[in-house]
Amino acid sequence: MTKRLTKRKAKAQRSEPAKPSPYVVFISYSTEDSYLAHAIKRDINDLGAEAHIYEKDMPGGGFLMVKIREEIGACDEAITLITSNALKDPVWISVEIGIIIGLQKELNPVLYNVSLDDLAPLKGMAGIDLNHLRERYLVHLEKRMDRRMTNK
């Protein structure tokens, strides 16, 4: 009987169209900027993508850096939210930027009242002012999501 159920289950799975995997955006931010990260997450989710932030979307326990690396590895692209809060202790966000770059993920620095020159790993990159997030990031994110869907 188990073999029969397994065969039926396999047949049902073959006949169902594969559900497309969500477009995932990892958001790196300072804990003090949680409210901004959650606002960005809502905007991304409203487009149909899946935004991940460590405090809510990552399972507990274990070594946090390994989990963050896994999350970044599984994402399609990443945002780093750079604020004066992030610059108070830039080590953590710099490590996450290093992981993002090392895994060759698209990096989108989002700035709030700071300059990219304030954080060494981002010098020379183009940043997105938080006040212009919709037209400078979300519109382009939506286009990347559409391209991905048409290429599948």
Whether 7 is in a domain gets the answer no
Give the tens place of pLDDT for each residue, 130-143. 999 999 999 999 99
Whether 6 is in a domain gets the answer no
Whether 84 is in a domain gets the answer yes
* Sign of the CA dihedral running 12, 14, 17, 19: positive
Q: Hey, what are 24's tokens?
A: 């995932």
Residue 96, helix vs strand vs coil? helix
Number of domains in the chain: 1
Give the other-Cβ count within 10 Å of 150's Cβ. Answer: 7
Whether 16 is in a domain gets the answer no
Whether 51 is in a domain gets the answer yes
Q: Which residues of the chain fall short of a pLDDT of 70?
A: 1-19, 55-62, 152
Whether 12 is in a domain gets the answer no
**Residue 79 gets which letter from DSSP?**
E
Contact in structure between 76 and 26 (CB atoms under 8 Å): no
Contact in structure between 20 and 73 (CB atoms under 8 Å): no
Distance CA(119)–CA(75), nearest Å, equals 23
The CATH number of residue 40's host domain is 3.40.50.10140
pTM: 0.81
Distance CA(16)–CA(27), nearest Å, equals 33
Domain, as residue range, for 103: 22-151
Token match 């477009």: residue? 23
Whether 11 is in a domain gets the answer no
Give residue 116's pLDDT. Answer: 83
Whether 142 is in a domain gets the answer yes
